[in-house]
């Protein structure tokens, strides 16, 4: 079952929709956003020059720096009296990026999030425990508003207060949960420590997780621990928030809502548009937004696109789970390494957990990579020889998969710092 007929567009219907809305968006930004008018003129392009979808490559890219340079409202295409919601990033690396929504934009957001919940089988009979952060971050309110429109009861628990969250999950009988994958693991650990029987004491049947990369192994672990269907939700505030793409029950690939957000995959170094199936940086153009329309936004997220049909019947393209960010990629002695690649290897090893931390350092002029990996509580061995063999096995598997030498340190269960938001997986001391 789909939430919207657009999800089953034919190829011709989709392309006609995309081109029509792209042309409208280009006219809007050219005449209403000084930044885009200047950039278009610098590149010698006008809205009427874009006659096909392929012509989008003639348009300039937009970056996070452009949004910060026009802080706070310089990228808006409407007056503030038409804005009904404002969100922003944390601004930890400079001025925050600010996003604004008109009433029309809020309808679009509810539409794409409705698709997310429909993929998870949610109805008005469900209770949603929303353990995603509220506030200026788009996550919590993105899930919340759409769920209310679908008449789903929402428990706005936000993040933190893990023991209280477990109490609410049990007593309120939530059937669905949102949050980050790392927080889902943290909740499960806390539940076991406090004596809960996870499969019996809770009523959860589905979870919606995002905001950080997760390997298939981590997704399967969360699904198995909680006894739920795992659905990944992808989004970013600059585009709309959560709801840009999400997975259905048939695959870990994410259905991309390309009737509202036009995707491209580019080489992050050259800007060249890559073919279907090739992995590169995701670039997104909004097609239907009014408050903050964005042209060719460089997300920094590494993924690929496929148009292979899905068994669910949806015809919009799909993307693979985000491999990592172009700016989070580690270059170790000339080899590109993403944390999710390491996690993928660790997920196949017994007697350890997926709580780990990567430390990049220098040894002389060479890069050195260390990984602290927690032993599982089910690991019964305290034999130094057996643990050394396990350590060597992990190092061997990482070498085979990544072509780099890694020093693995096995640490005690629950000894690595936990996060109630996004997990801090990488510490790069070379900087």
Report the percent of the chain where pLDDT is more than 70: 97
Q: Is the pLDDT higher at 336 or at 174?
A: 174
- Residue at which a domain ends, from 279, 301, 326: 326
Q: pLDDT per residue over 268-297, tens digit each? A: 989 999 999 999 999 999 999 999 999 999
CATH of the domain at 4: 3.40.50.12780
Q: Residues 96-109: what's their mean pLDDT?
A: 96
Could you tell me if 299 and 357 lie in one domain? no
420 pLDDT band, cuts 50/70/90, is low
pLDDT at 352 over 60: yes
Residues 265 and 391 in one domain: no
One domain, residues 265 and 385: no
Q: Are 264 and 398 in the same domain? A: no
- Listed residues 300, 326, 352: the one ending a domain: 326
Are 62 and 80 contained in the same domain? Answer: yes
List beta partners, residue 428: 360
pLDDT in tens, 388-404: 999 999 999 999 888 78
Q: Which domain holds residue 372?
A: 330-428
Q: CA–CA separation, 99 vs 334, rounded Å?
A: 37
**Considering the chain, what is the average pLDDT of its residues?**
92
Per-residue confidence at 18, pLDDT binned at 50, 70, 90? Answer: very high
Give yes or no: residues 47 and 90 share one domain: yes
Residue 277: its pLDDT value, please? 96
Domain endpoint, select from 275, 305, 326: 326
241 and 346 both lie in a single domain? no
Are 256 and 317 in contact by the 8 Å Cβ rule? The answer is: yes
Number of domains in the chain: 2
Whether residues 167 and 256 fall in one domain: yes
| Whether 152 and 248 share a structural domain | yes
* pLDDT for 421: 65
Top mean pLDDT of 241-255, 317-331, 365-379 is at: 241-255
Q: How far is CA 261 from CA 14, 236, 264, 287, 365, in A?
A: 12, 12, 10, 6, 44
Query: Cβ contacts of residue 117 below 8 Å, gap of 6+?
Result: 3, 146, 147, 150, 152, 208
Examine the domain organization and report whether 1 and 110 are in the same domain. yes
What mean pLDDT do residues 334-342 have? 79
Whether 4 and 114 have beta carbons less than 8 Å apart is answered as yes
Cα 7 to Cα 2, 65, 212, 311, distances in angstroms: 7, 33, 25, 13
pLDDT category at 94 given cuts 50, 70, 90 is low
For residue 342, the domain's CATH number is 3.30.300.30
Which pTM was predicted?
0.83
Q: Looking at the structure, do residues 255 and 268 belong to the same domain, yes or no?
A: yes
Are 344 and 274 in a shared domain? no
């Amino acid at each position: 079952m789909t939430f919207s007929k657009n999800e089953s567009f034919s190829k011709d219907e989709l392309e006609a929709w995309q081109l029509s809305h792209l042309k409208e968006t280009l006219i809007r930004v050219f005449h209403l956003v000084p930044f885009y008018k200047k950039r278009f003129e610098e590149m010698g392009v006008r809205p009427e020059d874009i006659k096909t979808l392929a012509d989008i490559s003639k348009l300039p890219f937009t970056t996070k720096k452009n949004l910060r340079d026009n802080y706070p409202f310089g990228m808006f295409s409407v007056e503030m009296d038409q804005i009904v919601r404002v969100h922003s990033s944390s601004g930890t690396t400079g001025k925050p990026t600010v996003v604004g929504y008109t009433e029309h934009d809020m309808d679009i957001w509810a539409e794409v999030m409705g698709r997310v919940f429909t993929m998870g089988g949610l109805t008005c009979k469900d209770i949603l425990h929303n353990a995603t952060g509220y506030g200026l971050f788009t996550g919590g309110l993105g899930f919340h508003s759409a769920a209310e429109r679908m008449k789903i009861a929402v428990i706005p628990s936000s993040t933190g207060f893990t023991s209280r969250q477990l109490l609410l999950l049990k007593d309120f009988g939530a059937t669905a949960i949102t949050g980050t994958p790392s927080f889902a693991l943290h909740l499960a650990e806390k539940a076991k420590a406090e004596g809960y029987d996870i499969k019996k004491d809770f009523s959860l049947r589905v979870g919606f997780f995002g905001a950080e990369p997760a390997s298939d192994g981590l997704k399967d672990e969360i699904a198995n621990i909680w006894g739920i269907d795992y659905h990944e939700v992808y989004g970013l505030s600059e585009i709309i928030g959560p709801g840009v793409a999400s997975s259905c029950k048939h695959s870990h690939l994410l259905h991309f809502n390309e009737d509202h957000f036009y995707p491209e995959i580019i080489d992050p170094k050259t800007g060249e548009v890559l073919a279907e199936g090739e992995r590169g940086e995701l670039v997104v153009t909004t097609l239907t937004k009014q408050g903050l329309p964005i042209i060719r936004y460089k997300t920094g997220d590494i993924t690929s696109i496929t148009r292979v049909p899905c068994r669910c019947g949806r015809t919009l393209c799909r993307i693979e789970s985000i491999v990592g960010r172009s700016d989070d990629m580690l270059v170790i002695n000339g080899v590109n390494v993403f944390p999710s690649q390491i996690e993928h290897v660790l997920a196949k090893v017994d007697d350890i957990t997926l709580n780990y931390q990567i430390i990049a350092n220098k040894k002389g002029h060479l890069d050195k990579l260390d990984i602290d990996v927690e032993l599982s509580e089910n690991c019964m061995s305290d034999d130094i020889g057996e643990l050394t063999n396990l350590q060597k096995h992990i190092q061997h598997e990482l070498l085979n998969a990544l072509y780099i030498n890694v020093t693995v340190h096995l640490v005690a269960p629950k000894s690595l710092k936990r996060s109630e938001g996004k997990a801090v997986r990488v510490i790069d001391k070379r900087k």
